[in-house]
């Protein structure tokens, strides 16, 4: 069975953010991820992780101003300095918290526009080079256009092609099963083909982004496939519980029982 990380941006939201670490630990998780740590000092987050004895496995670079419509900066040539600053900030946080994976969001841009594409490649290379010094892996994640219309990286084939072009040991694919199913389907073949590039996996049901096992996919079968394929990383539980978080954890007990 893969190692699961509770996503604290979506799960345990019955609690204040700082209390979600212990709530996840009490529910049996020893790893957590979340979108952004920047509302709190890194030392404080490290303290919450230590107190709950959970490993923080993933967070995102600053995405720009989400309220103003930003969804990342990497593909935007006129935001290059801001992007580069976001890399340094995230690495500083990761160094304190002990996080080994950082997801960089691409932004709203046209992947067929050479200027956006060049900016994206430059950004991934810059981030991966900087992260390599700390042994940290930079992740890129294709996101479906229903959740994020106009997002630059909306195709797993394109992500694989860009990573192959870049050929950087510290740049990897974040394979979110929810986005994969909406964008292309063929989840098991996708995992099989892309496994050498995968640095992190996330899961939620399709189409409602609720608990694994509650949608159109056989998630227990997919978890078994991850084991068969030798996946050693974490699976981030990036889903919105349908009701109370604890009431929805039957899927993990069913997975453990197989
Ligand atoms: O799938 C997602 O939405 C996240 O993994 C993310 O980082 C961007 O929102
Ligand atoms: Mg995701």
CB 236 within 8 A of CB 203: yes
As a whole number of angstroms, the distance between CA 20 and CA 11 comes to 8
Q: pLDDT (tens digit, 0 to 9) for every residue of the chain, 258 residues total?
A: 999 999 999 999 999 999 999 999 999 999 999 999 999 999 999 999 999 999 999 999 999 999 999 999 999 999 999 999 999 999 999 999 999 999 999 999 999 999 999 999 999 999 999 999 999 999 999 999 999 999 999 999 999 999 999 999 999 999 999 999 999 999 999 999 999 999 999 999 999 999 999 999 999 999 999 999 999 999 999 999 999 999 999 999 889 887
The separation between CA 42 and the C-alpha centre of its own chain, rounded to angstroms, equals 19
CATH of the domain at 207: 3.20.20.150
Number of domains in the chain: 1
Q: Which of 220, 213, 209 is nearest to 10 (CA)?
A: 209
- Nearest C-alpha to atom 6 of ligand 1 is from which residue? 35
Task: In whole angstroms, give the CA distance from residue 172 to residue 159.
Answer: 9
Alpha carbon of 240 to ligand 2 centroid (Å) = 12
Picking from 26, 36, 40, 34, the residue whose alpha carbon sits closest to that of residue 9 is 34
Q: Please say whether the beta carbons of 143 and 158 come within 8 A.
A: no
Neighbours of 29 (CB within 10 A): 24
Positive or negative: CA dihedral 199, 203, 209, 215: positive
| Alpha-carbon dihedral 164, 167, 169, 174, rounded to 10 degrees | -30
The residues placing their C-beta within 5 Å of ligand 2, an ion, are: 176, 202, 238
Per-residue pLDDT, 119: 98
Q: What is the pLDDT of residue 132?
A: 97
Q: Structural domain of residue 87, as residue ranges?
A: 3-257
- Mutation pick for ligand 1 pocket among 5, 7, 34, 35 (CB with most ligand atoms within 8 Å): 35
CA-based max dimension of the chain? 51
Q: Give CA separation, 160 vs 151, 153, 196, 203, 246, in Å.
A: 16, 11, 10, 19, 36
Tokens describing residue 239: 């889903």
b/e for 90-114, b at 16 or more Cβ within 10 A?
A: bbebbeebebbbbbbbbbbbebeee
- Are 14 and 245 in contact, with CB atoms under 8 Å apart? yes
pLDDT at 254: 87
pLDDT at 258: 77
Question: From the CA of 48, how far away is ligand 2's center (Å)?
Answer: 23
Q: Given this model, what pLDDT does residue 191 score?
A: 98
How remote is the CA of residue 158 from the centroid of ligand 1, in Å? 17
CB contact at 8 A, 52 and 21: yes
């Amino acid at each position: 069975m893969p190692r699961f990380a509770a996503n604290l941006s979506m799960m345990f939201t019955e609690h204040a953010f700082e209390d979600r670490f212990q709530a996840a630990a009490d529910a049996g998780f020893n790893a957590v991820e979340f979108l952004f740590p920047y509302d709190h000092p890194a030392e404080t987050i490290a303290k919450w992780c230590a107190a709950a004895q959970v490993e923080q496995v993933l967070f995102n670079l600053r995405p720009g101003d989400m309220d103003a419509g930003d969804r990342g900066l990497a593909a935007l040539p006129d935001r290059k300095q801001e992007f580069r600053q976001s890399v340094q900030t995230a690495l500083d946080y990761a160094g304190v918290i002990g996080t080994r994976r950082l997801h960089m969001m691409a932004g709203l841009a046209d992947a067929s526009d050479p200027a956006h594409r060049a900016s994206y490649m430059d950004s991934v290379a810059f981030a991966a080079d900087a992260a390599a010094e700390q042994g940290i892996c930079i992740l890129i994640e294709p996101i479906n256009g229903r959740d994020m219309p106009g997002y630059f990286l909306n195709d797993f084939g394109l992500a694989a092609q860009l990573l192959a072009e870049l050929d950087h040991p510290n740049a990897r694919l974040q394979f979110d099963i929810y986005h994969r199913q909406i964008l292309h389907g063929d989840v098991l073949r996708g995992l099989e083909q892309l496994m050498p590039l995968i640095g992190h996996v996330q899961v939620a049901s399709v189409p409602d982004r609720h608990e694994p096992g509650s949608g159109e996919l056989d998630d227990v079968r997919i978890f078994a496939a991850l084991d068969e394929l030798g996946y050693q990383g974490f699976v981030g539980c990036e889903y919105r519980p349908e009701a109370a978080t604890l009431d929805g954890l039957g899927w993990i007990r069913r997975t453990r029982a197989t």
